[in-house]
Chains A and B, each alone.
Chain A
Amino acid sequence: AQSVTQLGSHVSVSEGALVLLRCNYSSSVPPYLFWYVQYPNQGLQLLLKYTSAATLVKGINGFEAEFKKSETSFHLTKPSAHMSDAAEYFCAVSKDTGRRALTFGSGTRLQVQP
């Protein structure tokens, strides 16, 4: 069975500081992993996805994530936080091919302090 754990329900950083949002997964098959962002009162928007082509994945808005099989991790990073990055971030793993459901972590709310 696939599952996702996001460490830290709330993360606060200063503007310009490094953003690190943690995600660990378990999967019985080679995983496909996703990071989604949810801005207030909006739906989920895909930031990036890992599909085994490359372990370092670059996404939109300057975010990237590195797939580390040995650590079963897929942490999201951004070198320099902007105020506009304040949102909730969800890590997700794709389930079996039949249901194609995404299993989501519980989310991490990112605050960016001026």
Chain B
Amino acid sequence: EAQVTQNPRYLITVTGKKLTVTCSQNMNHEYMSWYRQDPGLGLRQIYYSMNVEVTDKGDVPEGYKVSRKEKRNFPLILESPSPNQTSLYFCASSLSTGTRSNEQFFGPGTRLTVL
């Protein structure tokens, strides 16, 4: 089954404790992206990657890091989480060929709480 998976699905942590949220897709997509969803704000892009070893900032990158060492994986790293990073996080992937009309496929989400 074609899918985007994220782990963990739920995480409660404390301020300053480094964490990583993993994202993996099995569709051989070049493009991957992280969004955060906050009430009343919709989804906002954090980082994106056009291909292996190619990453760049989205709209709200502060406090986050990413890496793209393999095509299928795109982990999101919070080096020193803070309470304002409490949110619902989504990973997405799509083909890079063609135009920006390509559909993005979303993972199930990771609900993060930083105390």
Chain B residue numbers with a CB within 8 Å of A43 are 4, 90, 106-109
Chain A residue numbers with a CB within 8 Å of B84 are none
Q: How far is the CB of A67 from chain B (nearest CB, A)?
A: 13
Chain A residue numbers with a CB within 8 Å of B33 are 100-101
A36 to B35, CA, bound (A): 14
Other than the given A43-B109, A92-B43, A104-B43, 11 more pairs (CB < 8 A) read A9-B40, A43-B106, A45-B106, A49-B101, A94-B100, A94-B101, A99-B56, A100-B48, A101-B48, A101-B58, A101-B59
B binding-site residues for A, Cβ under 8 Å: 4, 31, 33, 40-45, 48, 50, 56, 58-59, 90, 92, 94, 96, 99-109
Considering only CB atoms, which chain B residue lies closest to A93 in the complex?
A: B100
